[in-house]
Structure 1
């Protein structure tokens, strides 16, 4: 039985913590950007929900549609921001699996 042949060469490079100075600062900056994004999404979600409700109750179909669209987009952004670390960890771990 022959071993499976790989189409690409694996150079053996893996992420390593502590290789460069300033890594903790970079982690803090990215965490702060993520928090800022989540706070902005909460505001966008609240505004979009208000536009949706106002459009529905005033008969403004365009405002209602825009409010719905903004609510869905804000909810999707909140999902992606909250799951960003897990998504990256999941897909980066896929590259380390050997078949």
Structure 2
């Protein structure tokens, strides 16, 4: 048995026993409220971006300006992707937190 295998065995079995808790620091409710408000602002921005992008796409397509029409399509995809990520932020973080806890 080498020193390296003994060290790896000791590190793997050393569990500090730390887990997330909600009463460790004061002000967690305020931070949650702020993050929720930021999510709301982000979703409102995605809706505005989607509306503007659809208008640009439609007007540019109607006038034959395919460069701007392409930019409008890209804006629609970006706004939809942003809304998807913001809406799924809790699930995404919970998923990766579960993966990290399983290591």
TM-score (norm: length of structure 1): 0.86
Q: Which structure shows the bigger proportion of residues in helix conformation?
A: 2
Q: Which has the larger radius of gyration?
A: 2
Return 5+ residue gaps in structure 1 as ranges. none
Return 5+ residue gaps in structure 2 as ranges. 1-8
Partner of 1:26: 31
Partner of 2:6: none
Partner of 1:52: 57
Alpha-carbon distance in structure 2 between the residues aligned to 1:84 and 1:54:
33
CA 1:53–1:85: 2 relative to 1, 3 Å:
same
Alpha-carbon distance in structure 1 between the residues aligned to 2:19 and 2:99:
12
Aligned-residue Cα RMSD (Å) equals: 1.8
Residue 96 (structure 1) aligned with residue 101 (structure 2): yes
**TM-aligned CA deviation for residue 18 of structure 1:** 1.2
Residue 65 (structure 1) aligned with residue 70 (structure 2): yes
- For these two proteins, the number of residue pairs brought into alignment is 94
